[in-house]
Structure 1
Amino acid sequence: MPKISVILPVYNSEKYIKKSVESVLNQTFTDFELIIVNDGSTDDTINILNSFSDSRIKIINQTNQGPGAARNNALDVAIGEYIMFLDSDDWYSDDCLETAYREITTYDADMTFFQMINYNNGEVYENDWFELKTFDESFENRFFSPAETPGSIFDLSVGVCQKIYRHEFLKRIDARFPEGIFFEDMPFFYYVYLKADKISIIKKHLYYRRKHDESITHVVDEKFLDTVEAGQVLMRIFIENGWYDVYKYDLLAYKINGPRYALRDLPLKCKDKMFELIKKDYEEIKRGPYYGDFLDELGPVKKKFFLDVLESKNYGEFEIKSKS
């Protein structure tokens, strides 16, 4: 049984996949399996994958189902004691697995964070979001529980690739990614984080995150429509697990902000559809038991957005109302 299963979903990644795979194969830590899920690629990705000859590589070929299903399918066959994720345009530092494994085993943790660093056209630079600045020095060199971070969980990076997880823990809590949508790592992260008993952090850059024009989070386009459904999934997770009352102030603000910013930044051709999705969601909220909380807990800017959507018939009417 390998110590670590690295899960790598791939879709039309011929430009970058070779570097990603090589970054795993060249690790200082060698006791791993690399599960690559070819999610219906139509470019030269599969030929590049087949060019590697390493017994630690397992390739799953499937019709295009999206990153959530690809990761779930890999989890179903993974046999490592620990789980790590890698995106097909990114890569690990040479000692990523060794350092992450040493940290999580030292503290017998359920999950461990590490830092990520951005790469763009030859330039490497830090990003506050991935620097773990929410965790001050008092969180280092020990394990902690989510109860120690009640007011800051929505300031954490939700990126699934920024952590190493105990496999038995993920199986015990039945951790699964939402399928058929983008931003699937957001509800997955909060479910896993709040279920964990022991968490630790490493203040070291172990992961290189490539910024480019085709990356999912770089271009605001139709995929950002999924921020509405991802927020709905997140609400259900908090309600079903009894976390809603503890976190509702920050949770409701977080749920509002994702689609609010997406509606602001989406190209004009997407705004009508995005507004329709948001309005349908808010109308369902109005008919449900949490409507009063949205009115009572939201700050003035987010509350105005919420009510403006409810009171507008379409995006054009909303745009006028939102400027008043």
Structure 2
Amino acid sequence: MTVYGFHASHEQVPPADLLAAVMRAEQAGFTAAMCSDHFSPWSSRQGESGFAWSWLGAALQATRLSYGVVNAPGQRYHPAIIAQAIGTLASMYPGRFWAALGTGEASNEHITGGGWPNKATRQRRLEHSVEVMRKLLQGEEVSHDGLVTVDRARLWTLPDEPPALLGAAVSVATAERCARWADGMITVAAEEDHLRRMIAAYKDNGGRGKVCLQVHVSYHPDEDEALRIAHEQWRTNVFAPPFCWDTDSVESFDQAAEHVRPEAMHAAVRISSDPGRHAEWLNSYAGLGFDAIYVHHVGQEQSGFIDVFGERVLPQLEVTRP
């Protein structure tokens, strides 16, 4: 069976409203949650970007769900600071927190003024960061010279057991590389053949732990409105790498998306007014072998989506708790 979680999008929803949404999602039957960790939204229309780590403490206290966050250590965040944040939350809420680590996007990381390294350098920097974070979460004193620098760091508040550090991957090559160090993998919805290759690349190369999926959906009782919501809110997210990694401003994303047609949204978002169709899509993803699926409704208003999915979609799925 599969864990079905609620994805909290800090780029789109004010943090207080997002906290109310995740509480509602728990009541509706979602059994887990995860959130983004952005400094900037993808579009001026999204218009938010709350600090994920403040919100996570509140959300863990307000619900009984497990939570994850996708984070990019090494530039905007020093890995020792993220290890401290992870250790604190895992200490306060044992067994309920994980982090997925990736190489990041320029739209969030450029704020340090340190330039934006190429993908190969970012990948090595991530792996240096993971090495530092694992040692810190095991209680070691760490000094490190390389693509990140650490001088005699030690975490004094530690969980009884280090939480899982997943690898965030969108390509087969990255999934294979994550297998070297990660406690699991998370990716985003794509064509099923690609997702099968992602799972195989991770597991066949020794990858351990759960494999997770984030799915973007747009639901509204009116089909045209569901498409309008997806186009209005998520058309800046249809671009493949490296454009989405290397573009560094909301203005540039908005300009690039000016000519994205509404019909193009179907390639990036599951759009339907039919709850049964959404259940079919989610069951199909579960059938590929994903242990957890996190559902992100790309609209800013979350209540209708949560209620309908709780009443009419989740009952059609084999839902389990983590």
TM-score normalised to structure 1 length: 0.25
TM-score normalised to structure 2 length: 0.25
RCO (CA 8 Å, sep 6+): is it higher in 1 or 2?
Answer: 2
